[in-house]
A and B are shown apart, each in its own frame.
Chain A
């Protein structure tokens, strides 16, 4: 089944404790992206990757890191989480980074930083 998977689905952590949210897709997509969803703000892009070893900042990259060493994986790293990073996070992928391509979303990771 074609899908985007994320782990963990739920995470409660404390301020400053490094964490990684994994994202994997099995559709051989070139483009991958991370979003955060907050009430009243919709989805905001954190980072994206046009292909392996090519990443760039989205609209809200502060406090996050990413890497794209393999085509299928795009982990999101919070080196020192803070309470304002409490949010619902989505990974997404599309065939390519282009105007015409829709995105396929993972099920989401709900993160709480205490």
Chain B
């Protein structure tokens, strides 16, 4: 079945450091890929998405490229800020031909802490 694997945290960085959070996936169809961010005490909110191979999603300085050959969707940011401290979830959406339904699969989340 479909799955999403992301690096375990927590990830602790100094302000202005480069960020990479790894995410790999397995899927039977042609999934869309997402990164969601969860700030303390809040629900998840979409950070960026990509719907086909080689697409690059970007938002607020974060980027991720849909790599079909490596089944990856790594999140990057060139210079993190204290305000980026949050939990980041990689997710995919896929269609299951077997059940005729759409599946949303989330990774386990990676906590990022940025120190001033």
Contact surface of A with B, Cβ cutoff 8 Å: 4, 33, 35, 40-45, 56, 90, 92, 97-108
Contact = CB atoms under 8 A, between A and B. Distances in A.
Contacts, number: 56
Nearest to B30: A99
Nearest 4 CB-CB pairings of A with B: A105-B43, A42-B108, A43-B106, A102-B46
A42 B104 CA distance: 12
Contact of B89 (A43, A44, A108): A43
Interface of B: 29-32, 34, 36, 41-46, 49, 51, 89, 93-95, 101-104, 106-109
A83 to B, nearest CB: 22
A40 B36 CA distance: 16
A4 B32 CA distance: 23
A99 B42 contact: no
Contacts of A35: 106
Which of B31, B44, B45, B104: most chain A CB closer than 10 A? B104
